[in-house]
Amino acid sequence: MINSTLFPDVQLPAAERARGPFAAVAIERSLDKILDYEVPQGLIDSLRVGQRVRVPLGRNNRPEHGYIIAIGPTSDYPRIKPILAIDDQRILIPPKMMELACWMARYYCTPLGSVIDSILPSAVKKKIGLGWTHHVRLGKSPEEIQAILEKTRAPKRRAILARLLQIKPGESAELIRIASEAGTRAATVRKLVKLGLITITAEPDFNLPPAYYPKCGPEEAPPKLNEDQVDVLNELSPRIAGGEFSVNLLHGVTGSGKTEIYLRCIKQAVEMGRRAIVLVPEIALTPQTVRRFTARFDRVAVLHSGLPASARHRFWHQISEGKADVVVGARSAVFAPMPNLGIIVVDEEHEGSYKQDLAPRYHARDVAIKRGQLESVPVLLGSATPSLESWWNVKKGSGFGVGGSGQEHGHASTAAHATQSQPTLSHATPYHLLSLPNRVRNLAMPQIELLDMKQEIFVNRRKGVHLISRRLEHMLRVTFDAGQQAILLLNRRGYSNFVYCPSCTHLVQCRFCDATLTYHRSATAKARGGSFDEGLHTGQLHCHYCLGVNPLPPACPDCGKKLSLFGLGTQRVEEELARKFPNVHYARVDSDTMRNAGDYEKILSRFAKGEIQVMLGTQMIAKGLDYPNVTLVGVISGDTALALPDFRAAERTFQLITQVAGRAGRGDKPGRVILQTFIPDDPTIAAALRQDFVGFASSELKSRQEVGLPPITRMVRIILRDEDLAKLHEKSEKVAAAFAGQIDAEKSNVKLKGPMPCAINRIAGYHRAQILLFAPTAPPLQRLLAGVRAQKGILSSDRIAVDVDPVSLL
Ligand code: ADP
Ligand code: ZN
């Protein structure tokens, strides 16, 4: 793979050049460089691209971990240090994954070492769960050992020494074997280490015990596909058989049988001897979906955050050896080291959780597409509410160029040039739209009913706080009386999100963030029947940004008068539900109550058995639930997400309402949705009411086009933070100037906005500023970022975050 033409023409005088071969090593700890190292004689035969090694770094040669990204005969650098050791003999990053990592490093503007670091599970790096065997090597020549043997009296030691003489120099033998053949114990053999006669090293045993493939009873016979499904499958099938890259967006309304399509596609791939990766937004929240995969296929590795480290390592190892046919997992499963991939499925492709909010800030859907391209396999994206990015890509009939421009990073390595030449997605990226416009078994779409909360409060003159309207209350009663179940959505946790003083209008804010505090009642007061006042005494104020928790002040800190609670949260709905329906069993599902992966599963199984009549929660309950007895969905406040200062607020609102509405009426009984809102005329609410994704998408795309926002443009967000406001200003002006200068120098068409304060000005004591970059396509942005980075205009430091294709703008 390595050939000399890949290495630069700069040739040093022979005398100054160190002797090759050399290896380019990406240092694991976000060092912004790739460094060349000498390959010592002893490692020449065993060193491979993709291995993890230890190398000396810095003036005092601190040993650091890194990854071999290329091996070649020459290097530009006269003084080169040798690699210290191979940390793991396995090729942890196979060639295609290395290409993917290089692409991510460029595209997401993150050092290659830290990209690879995040691709590999830490259990793999730390070799957790491996058995270790101890190997003995000779520390002296056989002649010396022979001489010692002749002088030794002790019979056990003589036996050991005699046995040692059978080890050839350079070879090793297992410690326990030597001990047993010499008729002694390992501890006795070990004593020879101190005398310098032998060395003992622990070596990993890669025969990992198998990980456990979850199994759940045999599946009922798969359903017979309906006509729409047959059409979709007929279109996909040749693409799977053809083994070519394509991106297929399956837009299917909720309950249209999308998952069944994924299952059939995977079956076809598996029957061809190929393998599949299935990404789901969050394993813990989609147990039903996951079970359908484990029920249909035999070797399904489910990767979830609750796996013990050793199981994680075993799965990873088994997957890399091709011993799993299907991998199901959240975001990071896109890096599963599957050989011979046949298809990648991204379920609920619009989900924000596919974006990682720490560096590398990658989007798993986009990485999946890039991986599909590198491995020449079809990628299947599915959703009832596709992201506007994907929708736009299909609509304009060409790729959105998830491809960098192949620009260089200005790193220090010359050997690394070998990795700079991979393909990028061209404008001809084959995007296809497939649709399932109807629910399976001719089931009706749920009927959505709008409830104007202004009317409810001002016209009906209801006393007190009622988050549940009379209409919703009535429908809940009807539902419970009929022995059916309901889901209530409120996208905000806690009890109330404003604590304020009615006398002086003081609003209690977080000391460290530019945000109001949310009042949470304490767990003890949560017990049903606990009075509101009781809760008040034991509750606390939480900051949802810095996660700080404070006591509720006994009175207004400014004027000493009594504080009031205002605004709504799931705890408050829970309280109201308990008051209105004292005999109904309910469960609250939000990140406060669901602390462990198992909590949600337990609730769901009780819900499935009918032990719980209503589930109330945040967007957690909007995902993938399929319970035929759910006939009513109540959206407590359709407006909550609309108010967020983010250009995707409307898109999110539409998605959330459509997704949660889709939980209703999945059985034979028709479903009904009550959508409460203060702004019934809002176009997003109106589109959600009509369940008109296509209409919503085209009007939303039009307004994004008018103001030049993604997906029509590509965007990069640079977030700076500092405890000192003046320093932040200074720094952000400097960074913005570096970008502006580079834009001029390159005559780039990138538009720069800022620096300006972030929507949330301060988080956890840090002031925040942002710079936004826009361009019609991705390559100019990539070029610009690389250029500014090469000029040291942005350094990898924790106070500057570069977010390419950001999904959140708070
Ligand atoms: P989606 O993923 O679009 O929400 P699912 O694939 O989960 O839809 O399908 C909803 C339900 O309908 C599932 O219980 C599934 O087993 C069932 N189903 C899927 N396809 C068919 C079909 N052709 N006929 C009958 N039932 C089907
Ligand atoms: Zn805070």
Q: Is residue 310 pLDDT above 80, yes or no?
A: yes
Q: Which is nearest to 338 in space by CA: 292, 383, 299, 298?
A: 299
Mean pLDDT of 439-467: 83
For residue 461, the model assigns a pLDDT of 65
What φ, ψ does residue 772 adopt, rounded to 5°? Answer: -115, 140
Residue 429: which pLDDT band, with cuts at 50, 70 and 90?
low
Task: Give the pLDDT confidence score for residue 321 in this predicted structure.
Answer: 92
Structure tokens at 652: 């999110």
Which residues are near ligand 2, the ion (C-beta closer than 5 Å)?
Answer: 510, 512-513, 543, 545-546, 548
If one compares 726 and 430, the residue with the highest pLDDT of the two is: 726
Residue 534 reports pLDDT greater than 90: no
- Centroid of ligand 2 to alpha carbon of 545 (angstroms): 5
Q: Which atom of ligand 1 is nearest to the CA of 256?
A: 3
Please name the residue whose Cα sits nearest to atom 6 of ligand 1. Answer: 257
pLDDT at 696 over 90: yes
pLDDT of 27 over the 80 cut: yes
pLDDT (tens digit per residue) in 186-199: 999 999 888 888 88
The most confident of 85-89, 233-237, 547-551, by mean pLDDT: 233-237
C-alpha to C-alpha distances, 89 to 21, 70, 203, nearest whole angstrom: 18, 16, 10
Instruction: Report whether residue 478 contacts ligand 1, using a CB cutoff of 6 Å.
Output: no
Ligand nearest to the CA of 255: 1
Pairing of strands 246-252, 431-436: parallel
pLDDT of residue 2: 35
Looking at residue 30, its pLDDT comes to 65
| Type and span of the H or E element at 675 | strand 672-677
Q: Considering only CA atoms, which of 372, 461, 355 is closest in space to residue 103? A: 372
Is the CB of residue 259 below 6 angstroms from any atom belonging to ligand 1?
yes
pLDDT at 408: 34
Confidence of residue 775 (pLDDT cuts 50, 70, 90): very high
Nearest-angstrom CA–CA distance, 434 and 233: 9
Is the predicted pLDDT of residue 546 greater than 80, yes or no? no
Mean pLDDT of 105-112: 92
pLDDT, position 562: 84
Cis previous bond, 711, omega within 30: yes
- The number of the ligand 1 atom at minimal distance from the alpha carbon of 222 is 16
Is the CB–ligand 1 distance for residue 226 below 6 Å? yes
Rounded CA separation 571/528 (Å): 12
Only one residue has tokens 């990980």, namely: 211
Which residue is closest in CA terms to ligand 1's atom 9? 257
Q: Is the Cβ atom of 665 under 6 angstroms away from ligand 1? A: no
Ligand 1 contacts CB of residue 225 (under 6 A): yes
Q: How far apart are CA 386 and CA 249, in angstroms?
A: 8
Cβ(446) – ligand 1 distance below 6 Å:
no
- Please tell me whether residue 7 adopts helix, strand or coil conformation: coil
According to DSSP, the β-strands at 326-329 and 341-347 are unpaired
Q: Give the range among 196-200, 559-563, 640-644, 781-785 with minimum mean pLDDT.
A: 640-644
pLDDT > 50? residue 261: yes
- Give the model's pLDDT for residue 78: 74
pLDDT of residue 173: 87
Lowest average pLDDT, out of 171-185, 261-275, 497-511, 713-727, goes to 497-511
Which region among 224-233, 321-330, 467-476, 563-572 has the lowest average model confidence (pLDDT)? 563-572
Q: How far is the CA of 549 from the centre of ligand 2 (A)?
A: 8
Question: What is the pLDDT, as a whole number, of residue 10?
Answer: 42
Whether the CB of 626 sits within 6 Å of ligand 1? yes
Residue 18 confidence (pLDDT):
57
Task: Give distance in angstroms: CA of 525 to centre of ligand 1.
Answer: 41
Please indicate whether residue 254, judged by its CB atom, sits closer than 6 Å to ligand 1.
yes
Sign of the dihedral defined by the CA atoms of residues 398, 403, 406, 409, in that order: positive
Q: Which ligand 1 atom is the nearest neighbour of the CA of 436?
A: 3
pTM: 0.86
The answer to whether residues 466 and 456 touch, using CB atoms and an 8 Å cutoff, is: yes
Residue from 220, 260, 262, 663 to probe ligand 1 pocket by mutation (most atoms less than 8 Å from CB): 260
Separation of CA 653 and ligand 1 centre (Å): 25
What pLDDT, on the 0 to 100 scale, is given for residue 274?
97
Average pLDDT over residues 673-696: 93
Which of 246-255, 267-276, 536-545, 611-620 comes out lowest in average pLDDT? 536-545
Residue 261 alpha carbon, nearest atom of ligand 1? 6
Nearest CA to ligand 1 atom 19: 257
The sign one gets for the Cα dihedral 603, 604, 606, 610 is positive
**Percent of residues, the chain, with pLDDT higher than 90:** 51
Which residue did the predictor score with more confidence, 430 or 97? 97
The edge-to-edge listing of strands for the beta sheet with 549-551 is 518-520, 540-542, 549-551
Q: Give the pLDDT band (50/70/90) at residue 230.
A: very high
Closest C-alpha residue for ligand 1 atom 13: 257
Cα of 448 to ligand 1 centre, how many Å? Answer: 21
Q: Would the pLDDT of 103 be above 90?
A: yes
Question: Is pLDDT at 315 greater than 80 in this prediction?
Answer: yes
Mean of the pLDDT values across residues 268-276? 97
Q: What size, in residues, is the chain?
A: 810
Which pairing describes strands 431-436 and 614-617: parallel, antiparallel, or unpaired? unpaired
- Closest by CA to 700, choosing from 652, 661, 752, is 652
Among 435, 440, 629, name the best residue to mutate to test ligand 1's pocket (greatest count of ligand atoms within 8 A of Cβ). 440
Region 487-494: mean pLDDT is 88
Q: Quick one: average pLDDT of 265-275? A: 97
Instruction: Measure the CA–CA gap between 66 and 87, rounded to whole angstroms.
Output: 9
Please compute the mean of the pLDDT values over residues 214-221 and round it to a whole number.
74
286 lines ligand 1 (CB under 6 A): no
Q: What is the DSSP letter of 212?
A: P
For the chain, what is the mean pLDDT? 85
By mean pLDDT, which of 62-76, 157-171, 262-276, 452-466 is the weakest? Answer: 452-466
Please give the number of the atom of ligand 1 that sits closest to the Cα of 259. 6
Pocket test for ligand 1, best of 626, 629, 660, 693 (most atoms within 8 A of CB): 626
| Residue 433 or 59, more confident | 433
| 255 close to ligand 1 (CB < 6 Angstrom) | yes
The closest-lying atom of ligand 1 relative to the alpha carbon of residue 252 is 3
Looking at the CA of 761, which ligand is closest?
A: 2
Give the pLDDT score at 538: 61
Q: What does the pLDDT look like over 731-769, one tens digit per residue?
A: 999 999 999 999 999 999 999 998 988 888 888 889 999
Tell me the per-residue pLDDT of 549-608, one tens digit each, with 9 for 90 and over.
888 888 888 888 888 877 788 888 898 999 999 999 999 988 777 777 678 888 989 999
Ligand 1 touching residue 229 (CB < 6 A): yes
Q: How far is the CA of 552 from the centre of ligand 2 (A)?
A: 14
On the question of pLDDT at 222 being above 60, the answer is: yes
- Per-residue pLDDT band for 638 (boundaries 50, 70, 90) equals confident
Ligand 2 centroid – CA 762 distance (Å): 8
